[in-house]
């Protein structure tokens, strides 16, 4: 407990203060300022008794808040996983069903040993920020990812949610001393669209993790094309025939003869058929590039006249870039 006496020359009245503590943790403090009547002899003892009573009330309030947060987290988990009545869950969360909803996903970029230590602290930090942003927000952790559901009325600009996510990432990364990524799904116009919004946010996280760089926060609009390619790449793992065809023959030939026809083909498609631009892209003379194109036609029967053929070849090349390796075995039966 501290006593502060009157300071000459300043209009500061005498006062006493006492911290509110539980098990060595400071929860707050209580201050009493002397008014028209001077503080009595028993003021300090009364204030100490008051701090003990206040501690009990604050612990009870914190426990109630934690219980409510866990209950809301369980409801959100069911909503994200598509279990139960979506409309009923939204009602129990106290969210206006007419308001658009945004799923924001935060992921720890750390090893398994540190993950358990950091995840609960990340949940608390995300919940603290999001509940201050929108009182009816809900948060839960599923695996290594922390999800926040934010009611987003039209009055809230999309960039405000992105700013919120960036604030959380910056604060949490500094506090936990570990990299964190955040992904924002498209607004859901109904409770039943929440699982789709979560899947979108998860896909954005995978894009951010696959392309490490300065960006730590992104929305589906920011990485739309790469998210589609990533989804196609994941499908091709279960359906490898998608990546086969003419490209399979080119990859096998390159591996066997130490040629680089895949690079030539990719440069041509990326340059929209502009020979000079494509040749500059890979650092060869335009005449050399034309020769390689003729050989592509002679060796593999590839033609660039059909737009469908060009589209499929371009997609297969993109899928190859998403692979962990360009080994031609990927194209074999």
Domain coordinates of the chain in residue numbers?
2-69, 81-226, 239-331
Tokens representing residue 127 in the block: 């919940």
User: Alpha carbon of 260 to those of 47, 175, 288, 328: distances in Å?
Assistant: 82, 48, 12, 13
Q: What is the pTM of this model?
A: 0.64
CA distance 190 to 99: 8
Strand partners, 21: 26
Q: What is the pLDDT of residue 67?
A: 67
Asked whether 152 and 100 are in contact (CB, 8 A), the reply is yes
Q: Give every CB contact of residue 292 below 8 A, 6+ residues apart in sequence.
A: 261, 264, 284
CA distance 195 to 19: 46
Domain 239-331 is in which class?
mainly alpha
* pLDDT tens, the chain, 333 aa long: 566 555 555 566 777 888 887 666 677 788 888 777 777 778 888 888 888 887 766 665 554 456 667 788 888 899 999 898 988 998 888 888 888 899 999 998 876 656 666 777 888 888 888 888 887 888 898 888 999 999 887 767 678 888 999 999 999 888 888 889 999 998 888 889 999 999 999 999 988 888 777 789 998 888 878 888 877 877 877 777 776 677 778 888 888 988 888 899 999 988 988 999 999 999 999 999 999 989 988 888 887 788 888 888 888 887 776 664 434 444 333
Tokens representing residue 228 in the block: 């589609």
Provide the strand spans (E) within the chain: 2-4, 15-22, 25-33, 101-108, 138-142, 145-151, 180-184, 217-219
End-to-end CA distance of the chain: give it in Å, rounded: 78
DSSP state of 324: S
Asked whether 122 and 59 are in contact (CB, 8 A), the reply is no
DSSP state of 258: T
Nearest Cα to 81, choosing from 98, 103, 107, 112?
Answer: 103
Nearest Cα to 312, choosing from 248, 234, 254, 218?
Answer: 248
Q: What is the pLDDT of residue 330?
A: 43
Cα-flanking dihedrals φ and ψ of residue 148, to 5°? Answer: -125, 135
Tokens representing residue 41 in the block: 């002899």
CATH of domain 81-226: 3.30.70.270
DSSP state of 83: -
Asked whether 293 and 268 are in contact (CB, 8 A), the reply is yes
Sheet of 25-33: strand order equals 2-4, 15-22, 25-33
**143: phi > 0 → left, psi -120 to 50 → alpha, else beta; which?**
left
Strand partners, 281: none
């Amino acid at each position: 407990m501290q006593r502060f006496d009157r300071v000459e020359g300043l209009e500061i009245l005498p006062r006493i203060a006492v911290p509110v503590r539980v098990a060595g943790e400071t929860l707050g403090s209580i201050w009493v300022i002397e008014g028209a009547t001077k503080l009595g002899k028993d003021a300090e003892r009364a204030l100490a008794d008051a701090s003990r009573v206040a501690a009990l009330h604050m612990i009870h309030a914190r426990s109630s808040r934690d219980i409510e947060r866990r209950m809301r987290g369980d409801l959100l988990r069911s909503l994200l996983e598509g279990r139960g009545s979506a409309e009923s869950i939204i009602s129990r969360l106290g969210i206006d069903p007419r308001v658009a909803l945004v799923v924001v996903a935060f992921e720890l970029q750390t090893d398994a040993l540190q993950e358990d230590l950091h995840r609960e602290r990340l949940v608390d930090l995300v919940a603290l920020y999001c509940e201050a942003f929108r009182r009816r927000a809900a948060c839960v952790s599923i695996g290594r990812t922390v999800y926040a559901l934010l009611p987003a009325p039209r009055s809230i600009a999309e960039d405000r949610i992105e700013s919120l996510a960036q604030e959380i990432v910056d604060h949490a990364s500094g506090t936990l001393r570990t990299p964190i990524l955040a992904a924002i799904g498209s607004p859901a116009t109904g409770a039943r669209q929440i699982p789709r919004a979560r899947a979108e946010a998860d896909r954005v996280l995978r894009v951010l993790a696959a392309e490490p760089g300065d960006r730590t926060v992104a929305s589906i609009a920011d990485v739309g094309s790469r998210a589609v390619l990533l989804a196609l790449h994941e499908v091709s793992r279960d359906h490898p025939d998608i990546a086969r065809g003419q490209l399979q023959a080119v990859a096998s030939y390159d591996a066997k003869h130490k040629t680089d026809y895949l690079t030539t083909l990719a440069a041509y498609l990326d340059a929209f058929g502009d020979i000079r631009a494509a040749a500059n892209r890979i650092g060869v003379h335009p005449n050399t590039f034309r020769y390689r194109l003729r050989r592509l036609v002679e060796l593999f029967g590839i033609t660039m006249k059909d737009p469908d053929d060009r589209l499929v070849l371009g997609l297969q090349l993109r899928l190859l870039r998403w692979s962990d390796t360009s080994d031609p075995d990927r194209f074999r039966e």
